[in-house]
């Protein structure tokens, strides 16, 4: 089992008030088209506008150095995306008697009528074939103190461990697992499943849900450090706008 990466939060990019509007610039990728020449009208203005917006939001997006446009500092892109204030959830899946669950932070409300939510799922996870075959999933909202549950469901695979055997749960209306100790849960029926880069975007119609602990605070993705070991997955530079 992987252990928690104890990487500190030194130099967190999400440090309000630290961004310097005069020097903060977007960083660029040196892709096949070569480096972007400086001062190119509309595109450059768009980059600067975007830089200013990001800087105003408190995100440190990189600085100009003697070497030219800089990439962001260490723990850069990972911190940037952790700033998208996501919660941490355990997604339950079921296909008949086959069940599994995994930790996810990529969860969002998509539509009110009908009530739709989306999750982003790596199709190589043990959970995906069950999700695909069963067509249902649950979203279990974790409490701030449930980092251990995030680790339990998010750092080991159902291929090697029966993760649900160690956690109190019950089958919901859809048959997918609902964690008894969660802050809240939502049950969904899959209505769309599309390829989205190296993940799949799965949209579910909400068929049931309940708040179980109204006074509890939710666990935030930003509080999980690099538990998901995603820091190494980000590219070093953004790709160029076309």
Ligand X SMILES: Cc1cc2nc3c(=O)[nH]c(=O)nc-3n(C[C@H](O)[C@H](O)[C@H](O)COP(=O)(O)O)c2cc1C
Contacts of 71 (CB under 8 A, 6+ apart): 27, 62, 236, 237
**What is the Cα–Cα distance from 129 to 119, expressed in whole angstroms?**
15
Looking at residues 111 to 130 of the shown chain, list those that interact with ligand X (rule: CB under 6 A): 120-122, 125-127
Site string (73-92) toward ligand X, x via CB under 6 A: ---------------x----
Among residues 80 and 150, whose Cβ is nearest to ligand X? 150
Cβ atoms < 10 Å from Cβ of 218: 19
Residue 169 in contact with ligand X, rule: CB under 6 A: no
Choice from 77, 78, 80, 103 touching ligand X (CB under 6 A):
103
Among residues 28 and 99, whose Cβ is nearest to ligand X? 99
Q: Is 68 helix (H, G, I), strand (E, B) or coil?
A: strand
* Burial of 13 (C-beta count, 10 Å sphere; 0-12/13-18/19+): buried
Residue 105 in contact with ligand X, rule: CB under 6 A: yes
Q: How far is the CB of 117 from ligand X (least distance, A)?
A: 13
Q: How far is the CB of 214 from ligand X (least distance, A)?
A: 23
Q: How far is the CB of 154 from ligand X (least distance, A)?
A: 3
Residue 158 in contact with ligand X, rule: CB under 6 A: yes
Q: What is the CA radius of gyration of the chain?
A: 20
**What is the Cα–Cα distance from 200 to 181, expressed in whole angstroms?**
28
**What is the Cα–Cα distance from 231 to 229, expressed in whole angstroms?**
6
Residue 99 in contact with ligand X, rule: CB under 6 A: no
Give the range of 11-19, 57-65, 73-81, 103-111 binding ligand X by CB under 6 A: 103-111
**What is the Cα–Cα distance from 41 to 60, expressed in whole angstroms?**
24
Site string (186-225) toward ligand X, x via CB under 6 A: -----------------------------------x--x-
DSSP code of residue 130: H
Q: Which residues bind ligand X (CB under 6 A)?
A: 88, 100, 102-106, 120-122, 125-127, 150, 154-158, 221, 224, 227-228
């Amino acid at each position: 089992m992987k252990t928690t990466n104890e990487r500190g939060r030194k130099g967190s990019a999400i440090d309000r008030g630290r961004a310097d509007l005069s020097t903060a610039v977007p960083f660029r990728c040196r892709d096949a088209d070569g480096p972007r020449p400086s001062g190119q009208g509309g595109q450059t203005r768009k980059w600067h506008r975007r830089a200013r917006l990001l800087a105003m939001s408190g995100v440190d997006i990189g600085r100009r150095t003697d070497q030219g446009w800089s990439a962001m500092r260490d723990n850069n892109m990972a911190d940037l995306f952790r700033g998208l204030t996501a919660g941490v959830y355990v997604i339950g899946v079921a296909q008949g008697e086959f069940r599994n669950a995994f930790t996810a932070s990529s969860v969002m409300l998509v539509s009110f009528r009908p009530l739709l939510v989306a999750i982003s799922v790596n199709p190589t996870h043990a959970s995906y074939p069950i999700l695909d075959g069963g067509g249902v999933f649950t979203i279990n909202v974790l409490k701030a103190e449930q980092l251990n549950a995030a680790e339990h469901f998010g750092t080991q695979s159902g291929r090697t461990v029966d993760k649900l055997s160690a956690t109190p749960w019950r089958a919901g209306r859809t048959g997918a697992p609902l964690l008894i100790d969660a802050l809240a849960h939502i049950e969904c029926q899959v209505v769309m499943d599309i390829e989205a880069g190296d993940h799949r975007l799965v949209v579910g119609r909400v068929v049931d849900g309940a708040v179980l602990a109204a006074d509890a605070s939710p666990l935030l993705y930003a509080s999980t450090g690099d538990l998901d070991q995603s820091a190494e997955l980000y590219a070093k530079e953004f790709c160029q706008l076309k």
